[in-house]
Structure 1
Amino acid sequence: MADHNEFGKIGEQLAVDFLIKKGFKIKHRNYRYLKAEIDVIAQVSNQLVVVEVKARASGFIGDLKDMIPKKKRDLLVLAANNYVIEKNIDLEIRFDVITIVKENGTYTIDHIEDAFYFF
């Protein structure tokens, strides 16, 4: 497996650990529907949270629009809608992004809530 794929898995696990510490309940990881994949689906209070995890070894791309293009956002929404119907969930849905940057052996985690409202 390529190093970037392995780092992506590490990033997703760090994101899950981070969310659990913040009181989120993890409902699903790597949920797939058609061509879409949701990294993490979690619940906090009365919200179902769809989380896209972006991990980089250094120098993180700063603009969310570049990190998650419209096509990817559309696929995330499609998959989230299917998940809600499939699981018969009646909760408010929000889309978050967690960025993880590894520099000099240290991980920096940034949680952007309601990320889709930024663009």
Structure 2
Amino acid sequence: MTDRQERGRRGEAAAAKYYLDRGCRLLAHGYRTRQGELDLILEDRGVIVVAEVKTRGQRALFSGAEAVDTAKQRRILLAAKRYLQQNGLTERQVRFDVVEVGCVPGGYRIHCIKSAFEAGL
């Protein structure tokens, strides 16, 4: 595993802890489809949350949210649609978050952008 992959894995774990500490329930982590991968799928008071986690080092030039462009959003939406269909959740309300995880000395800084983009599901 490369340093970048390891940083991403740890960032996803930090983001999952962030949600769990706020009472969410983790439904899936690293859900893969042909359309792409969903980092975290959670339930927050009846709402299904699909969280795209972007982990950045201290010297990152771009924010995590900037990396979730229209093409990336489209892949996330297609993968989420598949997950919802497979798990009988198509009638549930869905929210798409982007979680920026910054590596700082001694840990992580979490910035959660709730409803970062809308779905046409």
TM-score, normalised with respect to structure 2:
0.89
Seq. identity, %: 29
Higher helix proportion? 1
Q: 1:58, 1:101 within 8 Å by CA — same for their partners in 2?
A: yes
Aligned to 2:106: 105
SS in 2 for 1:39: strand
Aligned to 2:72: 72
SS in 2 for 1:88: coil
1:63 positional shift: 7.2
CA distance in 2, matches of 1:63, 1:87: 29
Deviation above 3 Å: which 4+ runs of structure 1? Answer: none
CA distance in 2, matches of 1:43, 1:9: 21
CA distance in 2, matches of 1:59, 1:19: 26
CA distance in 1, matches of 2:113, 2:10: 19
SS in 2 for 1:115: strand
Q: 1:59, 1:101 within 8 Å by CA — same for their partners in 2?
A: no
Q: Tell me, which stretches of 5 or more residues in structure 1 are unaligned?
A: none
Amino acid at match of 2:94: I
Q: Tell me, which stretches of 5 or more residues in structure 2 are unaligned?
A: none
1:59 positional shift: 4.0
